[in-house]
Amino acid sequence: MYKILIADKLSQKGIDLINSTEGFEAVVKTGISEEELSSIIGDYDGLIVRSATQLTEKVLENPGRLKGVARAGVGVDNINIPEATRKGVLVMNTPGGNTLSAAEHTMALMLSLSRNVVPACVKMKSGGWDRKLYVGNQLNNKVLGVIGLGRIGMAVIRMAAGFNMKIVGYDPFSIPTQAENFGVEITDSLEEIYKKADFITMHIPRNKNTENLISKEQLEMMKPTARIVNCARGGIINENDLYDALENNVIAGAALDVYNEEPPENRRFENLDNCLVTPHLGASTEEAQIGVALEAAEVLMDSIKGGPIKNAINAPAVSESAPKIIKSYSELARKVGRLMNVLKAGRIKKVVLEYRGTIANEDVTPLKTSFSIGLLQPNFDVQVNIVNAGFLARERGISIDEVKNEDCTNFSSCFTAKVSTEIGNYSVTGTLFDDNIMKIVSINGYETEFTPAGLIMLALYRDRPGVIGSIGTACGKYDINIGTMSVGRKDGKAMMALSLDQNLGKEAQGALDEVDSVEKYTVCDFD
Ligand SMILES: NC(=O)C1=CN([C@@H]2O[C@H](COP(=O)(O)OP(=O)(O)OC[C@H]3O[C@@H](n4cnc5c(N)ncnc54)[C@H](O)[C@@H]3O)[C@@H](O)[C@H]2O)C=CC1
Ligand SMILES: O=C(O)C(=O)COP(=O)(O)O
């Protein structure tokens, strides 16, 4: 039974989906401390969080059986991604599920702020009636500066265009083509936005580049009538500087949904008349919560079952639609990596992967990852997987180059790994017969032909009469049954590949050591 921990408030529909899926069980424990979470996390196969739970380095220290974390939402700034990657824990999110809710909340904040909806309501509910004090401004014809033209930024633009706002957009990485359809003026200068805009809204992740993006200097560039909305992340606007700017009427107002610290210990913004606050409600609609809960449960369960990986933050996904040939070659690449691990001696300096034949026309990214998993796993305590394979290789200074060539002499496709170490050069080539039967066809230039499964013994010897018989006798003497045999010859030497029913014990190894002409032998366990 796979156990999934739900650590934040999640729609019941997501919990029900997990409990109604065979082999899965959901355990809900919300609001637990960092200590408690770090002590229990390793008992679960999967974890679902929203923004409240902090997955710190400490929490991820002993991930035990944890395979994946699904963030039921977009922002993953509460998850230590490098640490999750290092520990081989897959992190996924549910982009798109709360886009409209966050965009609508942004519009709600913008409208409420410009029409004084909240203070007017509070006043009236306390018996007042003041029509002069709460005169506001229209959105019509006002300049809206949108920082970040991703899903939410673009949804806000579509809505704001309906209010006939003039939109100026900034995004250093992506300019969606639809931006033009809504008459968005694209700028590459944030300063232009600060100086020109009547309303400013941001829809960007919080990271090292965006922290304190708007501080005193930027606030002072804005019009005194400007209003700013933060429905993205606390800390993108420097809170101290914003507080001072609002208190001193440097700008006209601000609406905040998100804070540096949540819930904020210092509640000072609540005391400012020109500041509207909501407690991180951007994604809090029934519709969004059902959507993200179901999607988080689905992507997490799929990944745990070894199915397709979707919405991965820290892993190149083998897309569901990847051609069958790539899925099959991916498995072969892992076996080639496994074989290379036992074949090579010394520290790896360089790896070159060659994709020949028809696979050269495909996206071969999964093959590189799978090869790295096969090559590295035997040397690691942590589980090497699609998440951390590339990271671990890079961390050990292993550079992996790739070569594609449509020509392939003997097969429709083949995959070759060449490894250079401080001691020597090694190569293994594999192919698929009939597109699904895996075969290793060459090792260090020796032709061979065996299926990479179970135990395979490779023996290199001087090519002279009687050696094959002696090796067979040495195995037979200690009850080691040989299944298949293949021999390749080159330059007076031969490489024998034998499939064995049992591994070599000490006595069998001793007998093989006695066989004259055998230079070396090794056993690879492919299972
Ligand atoms: N208040 C709430 O409840 C919610 C808040 N969010 C926040 O909104 C953010 C945006 O969400 P989506 O639009 O779905 O993400 P997205 O990934 O679709 O869009 C983010 C955009 O920001 C741009 N960007 C990144 N760094 C930038 C920078 N320095 N300057 C300008 N643009 C930059 C990217 O190029 C991308 O186009 C999330 O990261 C999350 O923090 C998301 C959902 C709900
Ligand atoms: O999806 C996001 O990035 C959000 O900020 C929503 O956060 P929440 O799931 O409501 O804690």
The predicted-structure confidence for 311-322, as pLDDT tens digits, reads as follows 888 875 455 567
Determine if ligand 1 sits within 6 Å of the CB of residue 440. no
Fold of 322-444: 60s Ribosomal Protein L30; Chain: A; (3.30.1330)
Q: Where are the domains of the chain?
A: 2-93+287-305, 98-277, 322-444, 452-526
Q: 2-93+287-305 falls under which CATH superfamily? A: NAD(P)-binding Rossmann-like Domain (3.40.50.720)
The Cα 50–Cα 30 span in angstroms is 11
Instruction: Indicate whether 423 pLDDT > 90.
Output: no
User: Dmax of the chain from CA atoms?
Assistant: 109
The Cα 279–Cα 263 span in angstroms is 8
The pairing of strands 455-462 and 518-525 is antiparallel
Per-residue pLDDT band at 381 (split at 50, 70, 90): low
Instruction: Indicate whether 433 pLDDT > 50.
Output: yes
Residue 137 Cα to ligand 1 middle (Å): 27
Report which ligand 2 atom has the smallest distance to the Cα of 73. 1
**Phi/psi at 15 (5° precision):** -65, -45
Helix H, strand E, coil C: the string for 92-158 is EECCCCCHHHHHHHHHHHHHHHHCCHHHHHHHHHCCCCCCCCCCCCCCCCCEEEEECCCHHHHHHHH
The predicted-structure confidence for 230-249, as pLDDT tens digits, reads as follows 999 999 999 999 999 999 99
Beta strand segments in 360-412, E = 399-405
Nearest to 368 by CA among 409, 318, 324: 318
Q: Is 280 a catalytic residue?
A: yes
- CATH number for the domain formed by residue range(s) 452-526: 3.30.70.260
Report which ligand 2 atom has the smallest distance to the Cα of 52. 11
Q: Is 262 a catalytic residue?
A: yes
CB-count burial class (<10 Å; 0-12, 13-18, 19+) for 189: exposed
Q: Which pLDDT score, from 0 to 100, does residue 434 have?
A: 85
The Cα 453–Cα 110 span in angstroms is 63
Nearest to 83 by CA among 308, 391, 318, 377: 391
Q: Which pLDDT score, from 0 to 100, does residue 318 have?
A: 56
To test the pocket of ligand 1, the residue of 104, 204, 210 to mutate (highest count of ligand atoms within 8 Å of its CB) is 204
Residue type, position 94, single letter: T
The Cα 402–Cα 351 span in angstroms is 8
The predicted-structure confidence for 251-280, as pLDDT tens digits, reads as follows 999 999 999 999 999 999 999 999 999 999
pTM: 0.73
Q: Which pLDDT score, from 0 to 100, does residue 130 have?
A: 93
The predicted-structure confidence for 190-224, as pLDDT tens digits, reads as follows 999 999 999 999 999 998 889 999 999 999 999 99
Query: What are the structure tokens assigned to 246, written together?
Result: 């609002």
Q: Do domains 98-277 and 452-526 have the same CATH topology?
A: no
Beta strand segments in 205-305, E = 227-230, 253-256, 275-277
Q: Which of 83, 104, 192, 262 is catalytic?
A: 262
Fold of 98-277: Rossmann fold (3.40.50)
Residue 229 Cα to ligand 2 middle (Å): 16
Query: What are the structure tokens assigned to 143, written together?
Result: 């300049």
> If DSSP codes are grouped into helix, strand and coil, which group holds residue 43?
helix
The predicted-structure confidence for 287-333, as pLDDT tens digits, reads as follows 999 999 999 999 999 999 987 788 888 875 455 567 888 888 998 99
Question: Which strand ranges, in their side-by-side order, compose the sheet holding 425-433?
Answer: 399-405, 348-357, 413-421, 425-433, 437-443, 446-450
Contact 459, 518 (CB under 8 A): yes
Report which ligand 1 atom has the smallest distance to the Cα of 258. 1
Interior CA angle at 350 toward 344 and 354, to 5°? Answer: 90
Residue type, position 415, single letter: F
CB-count burial class (<10 Å; 0-12, 13-18, 19+) for 456: buried
- Sign of the Cα torsion 221, 226, 227, 231 reads negative
Residue 71 Cα to ligand 2 middle (Å): 9
ipTM over cut 0.85 = yes
